Structure 1
């Protein structure tokens, strides 16, 4: 694609959460600090919410990488599970060998035994759930009951919920008041601001190996911030398309034309003006850029 054209080793704006590209921007650093402090207390639920694409999964993976050997973590990236499936998933994450026939009472007993064993080894057990807004109601209640397991000194398990704002709306319901009262720490991720967007772009380009002149001017960054609303995932999509279009036209940096075309070609981007229809050729330009790369055409 455009890697050789711009002198890069890897894709700078891939959508897969990659901790190699983690950048210490205020909202992400603050979220990690809240999580680390909360986990040291050893109590209750911890909740991190944010709009789609604000970096919750990346923070979750960063936390997993940074926790000391004191912690035993069970990570459930897909929480759309029934209570029974949730217990099985937790058991598997804790390394419990399950017999072929195991009813829910027996399974709960095995989990408690394993938690007590780890606690006796001075381990702290943390259950992390990504996309927690997708948890069925019964499974949310099952999670609350997990936190009832305790010794005289401390809880046997802590639960960290990562979710979209819909999670807050669900927990505000009367039926979840017991769970809501057990949330000891929470943090809401905010979108990136203008200066942060510029630093974010430069950081990811540097990690990818780019060493040339700035690819995005100050005015381009302002437009990109407005179109993306400061959401990292949208920033990545728009920057990637703008670079692809620039490569397709043989340019050394992004210009207003490529950025506007990238914005017009992105479903959730905020248009810069009301004449969005003028830029509907963006997808065609992307296709031409790819064809040019595949055929080795000199642009």
Structure 2
């Protein structure tokens, strides 16, 4: 929407991970170095953990995009709330292995035959497991069993696990000792500090070929850091919204006043909220019956209705802004068409 106004060739703060926009903080660079080290070793597990939105998937995509080794055949799993049998089926599917039946023994045999064939071709398999905190402990154990596939004392498959902080608890369980002994490196991602937030935003703007200097005021980055707590995904959501706001309001510079206004708008929305859980206003503890004639519950219902009213009002305001945007866009297109017609008549 705002790309042409700010001279971008594309939206710089999209949510979908894109290796071209990868920004390596010291933590991200360390994690990426561990992944690369794991590749060089060709064995064991690498584990990368971090809070939601800190860039684990982006690191995985960046690694896959820059492998530069035709002898590594990689597959990535993103749906990981799986039983051991479902995990094996998905591994076979992602590596495009033909399986005769859904029998676990047959699937394991097909996977082993595939890995041996790769080895004879001078290749090896790499499995990246994203959102690994969703894996049940017995499924993590199945991954360990896959790592037992060897030929001439060399492992035939290597696995990287990326997940939220809950993954630490799964791996730390007493019955996971054998798995822990096969972890050759691990890293934990952290949110960005204020300087990294500034560099992160400027990096993504440059990647989108921003042609405006000082798009954000000097003190804007500190405030963006405070609003997003340095979480890259929140930064993407927030700055994308700031740029849309700046376009609608025809701002050349995003000031602290604009940041505060957008943050206030987003604080009552159902999606893209920066602080807290947007559903908290509707958490009514359904395990306890509601006594309608209770003065406390009546007051609670009133509060909920007020929340709903605020959300509806915000939604209407957004619709108005969108209408303004469409009207502005139509005017721009009409002007461009008129200019084109004039040039054609002159020629």
Task: Output the TM-score relative to the length of structure 2.
Answer: 0.78
User: Separation in 2 of the partners of 1:209 and 1:113?
Assistant: 48
Deviation larger for 28-37 or 283-292 = 283-292
Q: How does 1:220-259 map to 2 (within 5 A)?
A: 220-259=220-259
- Residue 213 of structure 1 deviates from its aligned partner by 1.7
Name 1:188's counterpart in structure 2. Answer: 188
Q: 1:282 to 1:11 in 2, by over 3 A?
A: farther
**CA distance in structure 1 between the aligned counterparts of 2:99 and 2:33, rounded to whole angstroms:** 36
**Which sections of structure 1, spanning at least 5 residues, go unmatched?**
272-276
Distance in 2 (alpha carbons) for counterparts of 1:284 and 1:162: 40
Distance in 1 (CA, whole Å) between partners of 2:184 and 2:151 is 19
Identify the range of structure 1 (184-193 vs 171-180) with the bigger mean alpha-carbon deviation: 171-180
* 1:115 to partner: Cα distance: 0.9
CA–CA separation in structure 1 for the residues paired with 2:20 and 2:206: 11
Counterpart of 1:85 in structure 2 is: 86
Match runs of 1:19-58 below 5 Å: 19-58=19-58
Per mean C-alpha deviation after superposition, the further-off stretch among 132-141 and 162-171 is: 132-141
- RMSD of aligned alpha carbons: 2.3
Greater relative contact order (CA < 8 Å, ≥ 6 in sequence): 1
Post-superposition CA distance 1:154-184 (Å, at most 9, x none): 2111110000001001211112222122211
Q: Distance in 1 between matches of 2:102 and 2:163?
A: 31
Is 1:294 equivalent to 2:299 in the alignment? no
Deviates more, 1:255-264 or 1:231-240: 255-264
The residue that corresponds to 2:60 in the other structure is: 60
Larger C-alpha radius of gyration, 1 or 2?
Answer: 2
Any conservation in 1 of the 2:217–2:256 contact (CA below 8 Å)?
no
Q: Shift in Å at residue 102 of structure 1? A: 4.1
Alpha carbons 1:227, 1:269 under 8 Å: kept: yes
8 A contact 2:46–2:160 mirrored in 1 = yes
Distance in 2, Cα, partners of 1:144 & 1:137: 11
Contact between 1:13 and 1:237, CA under 8 Å: does it hold in 2?
yes
Gaps of at least 5 residues in structure 2 are 277-306, 332-347
CA contact (8 A) 2:137 2:170 kept: no
Kindly indicate whether the alpha-carbon contact (under 8 Å) linking 2:84 and 2:142 is maintained by their aligned counterparts in 1.
yes
Aligned pairs (5 A) from 1:75-114:
75-99=76-100, 101-114=101-114
CA distance in 1, matches of 2:275, 2:87: 38
Range with bigger deviation, 135-144 or 156-165:
135-144
Give the Cα separation in 2 of the matches to 1:2 and 1:289: 13
CA distance in 1, matches of 2:70, 2:151: 21
Q: What are the Cα deviations for residues 235-258 of structure 1, in whole angstroms up to 9, with x where unaligned?
A: 111111111112221111112222
